Amino acid sequence: MPRMISFILTRLATGFAIGCAVGFVVWPNGLLSSTSTAGALENYLAQGLFIYFFASTMSMGYLATALLLEEE
C-alpha cells in the first residue's frame, strides 16, 4: 500500500476511534435526559447517529491536523 494511503487510513481510523470514545462519554453525561419520551429504538438511533457524526468529524479534524504537522 502506498505510504500516503496508509497515512490517511491510519489517521482517519485513529481519529474515528477517539471520536467514538468521546461520543460514548458525552452522550449519557450531557445530552440524554431522564424524562425522555422517545422509545428505545429512537434513543438508540439518535445515540448511534450522534456518535457516528461526532467520530467522523473528529477523524477529519485529526487527519487535517496530522497533514498540517507532517514534516517530510
| Residue pLDDT, tens place only, 2-15 | 988 999 999 999 99
CB atoms within 10 A of CB 22: 14
CA 36 to each of CA 23, 30, 43: distance values in angstroms, whole numbers, following the listed order: 19, 13, 9
Res. 18: pLDDT tops 90: yes
DSSP labels, 1-67: --HHHHHHHHHHHHHHHHHHHHHHHHIIIII--TT--S-HHHHHHHHHHHHHHHHHHHHHHHHHHHH
44-58 pLDDT, tens digit per residue, is 888 889 899 999 999
What mean pLDDT do residues 8-23 have? 93
Res. 29: pLDDT tops 90: no
Residue with grid cell 473528529, as numbered in its chain: 58
So what's the pLDDT on residue 70? Answer: 83
- Ranked by mean pLDDT, the top range of 26-30, 32-36, 43-47, 53-57 is 53-57
